[in-house]
Structure 1
């Protein structure tokens, strides 16, 4: 156990606008044998959960006018949470992992990383390469071996597909988070037992980072409603992993009646979290300038909001490839490697949740909302700049095969075995109040009063 000043925690807390003296009390129960990597992933992961736990404790104290709960983060709990999708079992079944056409492929001049997990991404990738729908891994490997990595990347981008050339790390100016005060409002929260109790969170995110953030807010008491388009199906396995404590509904913003419902939900929410490319939702009246001033708006994207890649689609695996991480983690044969978790996704999720909690604390004090902007590229840049891991005297790795941080929860998907949440303030919930509902089956309405 240590309560010494932790540099990654201090950096992340500063980026979130928190008072610097608060981080000295964040304690870590170290577990050096977890999330091993050439990069300091264990420290990165712990710090993201640490600042989220601290932000929860800060908001709880602000709402109740009492002392701030102590914060202790157990890295042995953080590690399984950062690979929650690997621990998930649905009635004993392991979820599907990466699809056969997703991965690293050798090109004529290097390597490229593809992402084809969703059917529409697979179709676009094969169309960009002039291949038929029956193309398998061997045929794809042969096709890519005759092309340059940059050619594959740009052809895929033009077709709306996902492929990124593997390249070395380069200095960038992607911030860990951008924070901007919005107008003034008069929305404040009453005293409560949980930090986010009664907070209405509208979740317009997909895949891991955004859903991890809103899953965490649901743990802390928020009324979280996820909204998806019926024209963009989700993986049931992915939803089962990140849907804990939340509800899920379908609205097609291109249909006037659905758009009216969506806008009413926005008008009555406390928090709006979006995970689409910059500007993609503006035409529906969801640009920050069009939103109520009390609203906390948290926007998440892959490549940041500035620069030539700002409008591109992306996932954790692609950002690892494009930001230099894949080459740092390469094997002895030169094949690109990966982090021991989709750490950019999970870490950004906890940072985003922390940012929302901090913004709610600021709203308690001033009445004003906040605009938060996070990116996977910003998290990657921060990770690449962290100092290398240092040994922790007296600490030991958890025993192999021990799973004290897993739980079982029944629900509409059946019995789920899953990782417990790692949030570590004194009195934090040990698990969610409910498992995930089935994707898209809930009413588009809040469960909490105004």
Structure 2
């Protein structure tokens, strides 16, 4: 077949814009910081070490990891300065940042493997027209919906045979119409011609918008670290309602908890979850269950909202809004709220309501195709980490802390938005690494010095330590990961 999707051309790096050297991460972080309106003198207290490539990839994933994670840490330090009048140093090594970008891969439970992450039919398939599709079937209703359309058994060979009768774009459209999560692979050229790419063009990876009036609300002053025997981290006393699942949103909540926030994860018993991700991203959080279809539980959530500083949500577009807890409703009920939203493909454009996950967005937006070309692979090639998810998570946390910092001075209610597709667009804009596949992958033994063992409600966990080092308020998790619904729906 002549389609660029039926076979992948040999690598040709000549036309690629090559990423700069060690200053790329610093410059990228500085741009995020400047665009967020944060005090520029804070950048002088930031030290970044390392340079791409750290993991095998043609993209500047190390710079993306360092810039997003570093921006969140620097924002935490800025909040601490705002609350104490003191400054501190922030440092971040690129290898450690990328290791934390793969935290779910390195998770161990009681010294052994974590529960299985992927459903057995999830992954890439070649369709009858020679093009590729990626299926995400980790949630039972997504899996069952795909099997219903295909009319086949829950078996990889059966799925492959059924997809052999479909064209990739037609199957993507049919699955999307049914509310499922499937992506056809596109090249950069094909994605750039898509109306959704046009809608996102020029948008930054994170947007921070004032959506309502409220008087300035500074966070309570903290004693200088060490003056009294209390936890004096940047987000001490900040209350976060966390409505997120999978990786990006939960990483944001985990990051806020690492800097001292009281993070209350809100789920419901009827919603599916993925066990290893609950375990890995639950560090530092309390966990309750509320069914927002129930009137009493809805009243309980309203009570929680009136005590919250931040709402963090990553459900399908308009999902919480349809239940009465969208950003505008939250700002009316709780003036001064910081509402943080994650989406797959952005809040504008024809795909604004489309569901998706990191692996699917990589496939749909050309990243898998471009990575395969650079590697000389005949098959689509994913990035060596869920880069879009993790970068989005740290950018969500960064945006939340920027909004808290600005709320203290300017007042207002705020809406922070990040999408996986915009993060992918941002990553692509960082350029390419000419010899990016010349380094080995990092196995768990290679990064043993970056791990720690923590107790949890699931047993002893081997996890990646938080990568950003703050000189006065080291990031850490006071609370262990616990099974969903362990706690009551109330603020401590």
Q: Do both share a fold (TM > 0.5)?
A: yes
CA-to-partner distance for each residue in 1:178-203, whole Å, 9 max, x for gaps? 22113113533112321110000000
Shift of residue 271, structure 1, vs aligned partner: 0.3
- In the alignment, structure 2 segments of 5+ residues that lack a partner are 1-20, 223-231
Q: Which residue of 2 aligns with 1:188?
A: 218
Cα distance change, pair 262–402 in 1 and its aligned pair in 2 (3 A): closer
Shift of residue 20, structure 1, vs aligned partner: 4.3
Shift of residue 142, structure 1, vs aligned partner: 1.1
- In the alignment, structure 1 segments of 5+ residues that lack a partner are none
Question: Does 1:386 pair with 2:430?
Answer: yes
Question: Does 1:366 pair with 2:410?
Answer: yes
Shift of residue 33, structure 1, vs aligned partner: 5.1
User: What is the alpha-carbon distance in structure 2 between the residues aligned to residue 332 and residue 100 of structure 1?
Assistant: 27
Cα distance change, pair 64–20 in 1 and its aligned pair in 2 (3 A): closer
Shift of residue 270, structure 1, vs aligned partner: 0.3
Aligned residues: 442
Question: Does 1:255 pair with 2:275?
Answer: no
Q: Which residue of 1 aligns with 2:29?
A: 9
Matching residue within 335, 340, 343 for 1:298: 340
Cα distance change, pair 320–439 in 1 and its aligned pair in 2 (3 A): same
What is the aligned-residue RMSD (CA, Å)? 2.4
Alignment of 1:403-418 (within 5 A): 403-418=448-463
Cα distance change, pair 307–227 in 1 and its aligned pair in 2 (3 A): same
2:448 is paired with a residue whose SS is coil
Maintained 8 Å contact 1:56/1:357: yes
Maintained 8 Å contact 1:15/1:177: no
1:431 is paired with a residue whose SS is coil
2:303 is paired with a residue whose SS is helix
Maintained 8 Å contact 1:44/1:383: yes
Maintained 8 Å contact 1:177/1:372: yes
Maintained 8 Å contact 1:195/1:220: yes
CA-to-partner distance for each residue in 1:395-442, whole Å, 9 max, x for gaps? x99996341110000121000000111123323425311221211221
Maintained 8 Å contact 1:196/1:217: yes
2:213 is paired with a residue whose SS is strand
2:134 is paired with a residue whose SS is strand
CA-to-partner distance for each residue in 1:272-309, whole Å, 9 max, x for gaps? 01102222211322122222221011111111011111
CA-to-partner distance for each residue in 1:1-25, whole Å, 9 max, x for gaps? 9789822112322343324454354
Matching residue within 332, 348, 351 for 1:309: 351
User: What is the alpha-carbon distance in structure 1 between the residues aligned to residue 34 and residue 363 of structure 2?
Assistant: 28
User: What is the alpha-carbon distance in structure 1 between the residues aligned to residue 233 and residue 377 of structure 2?
Assistant: 50
1:216 is paired with a residue whose SS is helix
Cα distance change, pair 30–7 in 1 and its aligned pair in 2 (3 A): same
Maintained 8 Å contact 1:129/1:155: no
Q: Which residue of 2 aligns with 1:283?
A: 322
1:9 is paired with a residue whose SS is helix
Matching residue within 27, 30, 39 for 2:47: 27
Q: Which residue of 2 aligns with 1:197?
A: 236
Maintained 8 Å contact 1:183/1:368: yes
User: What is the alpha-carbon distance in structure 2 between the residues aligned to residue 43 and residue 397 of structure 1?
Assistant: 17
Question: Does 1:127 pair with 2:148?
Answer: yes
User: What is the alpha-carbon distance in structure 2 between the residues aligned to residue 135 and residue 223 of structure 1?
Assistant: 41
* Farther off after superposition, 222-231 or 287-296: 287-296
Scaled by the length of structure 2, the TM-score of the pair is 0.85
1:154 is paired with a residue whose SS is helix
Q: Which residue of 1 aligns with 2:17?
A: none
Maintained 8 Å contact 2:68/2:394: yes
Q: Which residue of 2 aligns with 1:83?
A: 102
Alignment of 1:321-332 (within 5 A): 321-330=363-372, 331-332=375-376
Maintained 8 Å contact 2:45/2:88: no
Question: Does 1:99 pair with 2:119?
Answer: yes
1:224 is paired with a residue whose SS is strand
Maintained 8 Å contact 1:31/1:397: no
2:112 is paired with a residue whose SS is coil
CA-to-partner distance for each residue in 1:14-61, whole Å, 9 max, x for gaps? 343324454354221215452331111011111111111110111100
Q: Which residue of 1 aligns with 2:272?
A: 233
Matching residue within 63, 76, 85 for 1:43: 63
User: What is the alpha-carbon distance in structure 2 between the residues aligned to residue 382 and residue 402 of structure 1?
Assistant: 27
User: What is the alpha-carbon distance in structure 2 between the residues aligned to residue 436 and residue 146 of structure 1?
Assistant: 45
CA-to-partner distance for each residue in 1:324-356, whole Å, 9 max, x for gaps? 101011153421111110010001101110111
